[in-house]
């Protein structure tokens, strides 16, 4: 033999079997390998429990479909619609929506040359699985919509006389494009805005 197995029981010197994890304590007792598997088992149980009990994102697709149908029924063409990152809302993520979409709408039909849309056509919408969450968000807007005050913080976005914020049971809608026909459709769908940029702010 060109080598001789290490026979020392010095805890700092492990046998080849120990290095191969079969005898992790170096004691020579194969039963000791169960202590190596225990942390793995605990981790697996923890991951399964987390998957079962952590809250899952709300399914708000039905509300998105309802809004799309409402736009079309009221004579709007949808030039484009984009699902966007939930933190990319007009209030820097403070609306805490479960799902967010940006719609480009107008009364003019699409033409063969491609989609026709601009920033003035853009309507932001946030959808909520829990209406009570939306209740708290809606109550935090200043009268002119320039501030949003919540229990976990606030954000200010400046004044804009074209800004309107509307709400439905499970949807929050923001528009600042200035197109009269879009204001008309939004007010038909949601009633008077809960925040109107033409008003003076009520929050200091």
Taking a C-beta distance cutoff of 8 angstroms, is the pair 90, 174 a contact? yes
Return the pLDDT at 51. Answer: 43
Based on the fold, state whether residues 25 and 74 are members of the same structural domain.
no
Looking at the structure, do residues 142 and 180 belong to the same domain, yes or no?
A: yes
Point out the residues of the chain with pLDDT beneath 50. Answer: 1-6, 8, 12-14, 17-21, 50-56, 113-114, 203
Range of the domain at 49: 16-53
Residues 42, 66 within the same domain: no
pLDDT, residue 26, reads 54
Q: Residue 154: which of 100, 204, 86, 81 has the closest Cα?
A: 204
Tell me the CATH number at 90.
3.40.1000
> Is 114 domain-assigned?
yes
Q: Is residue 6 part of a domain?
A: no
Give the total number of structural domains in the chain: 2
**pLDDT tens-digit series, residues 179-193:** 999 999 999 999 999
**Which among 66, 134, 71, 146 has a CA at the least distance from the CA of 103?**
71
Cβ 79 vs Cβ 116: under 8 Å: yes
32 and 133 housed in the same domain: no
pLDDT at 1: 44
| pLDDT given at position 10 | 52
Residues 99, 175 share a domain: yes
For position 109, what pLDDT does the model report? 72
- Reduce the secondary structure of 47-113 to three states and give it as a string: HHHHHHHCCCCCCCHHHHHHHHHHHHHCCCEEEEEEEECCCCCCCCCCCCCCEEEEEEEECCCCECC
């Amino acid at each position: 033999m060109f080598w001789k197995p290490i026979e020392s029981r010095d805890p700092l010197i492990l046998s080849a079997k120990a290095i191969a994890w079969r005898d992790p304590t170096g004691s020579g007792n194969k039963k000791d390998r169960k202590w190596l598997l225990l942390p793995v088992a605990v981790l697996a149980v923890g991951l399964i429990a987390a998957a079962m009990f952590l809250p899952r994102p709300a399914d708000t697709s039905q509300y998105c479909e309802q809004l799309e149908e409402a736009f079309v029924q009221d004579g709007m063409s949808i030039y484009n619609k984009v699902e966007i990152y939930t933190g990319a809302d007009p209030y820097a993520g403070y609306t805490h929506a479960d799902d967010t979409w940006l719609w480009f709408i107008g009364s003019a039909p699409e033409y063969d040359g491609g989609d026709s849309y601009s920033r003035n056509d853009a309507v932001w919408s946030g959808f909520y699985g829990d209406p009570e969450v939306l209740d708290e968000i809606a109550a935090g807007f200043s009268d002119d919509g320039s501030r949003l005050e919540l229990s976990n913080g606030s954000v200010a976005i400046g004044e804009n006389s074209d800004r309107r914020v509307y709400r439905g049971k499970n949807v929050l809608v923001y528009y600042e494009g200035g197109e009269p026909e879009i204001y008309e459709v939004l007010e038909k769908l949601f009633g008077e805005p809960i925040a109107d940029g033409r008003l003076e702010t009520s929050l200091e």
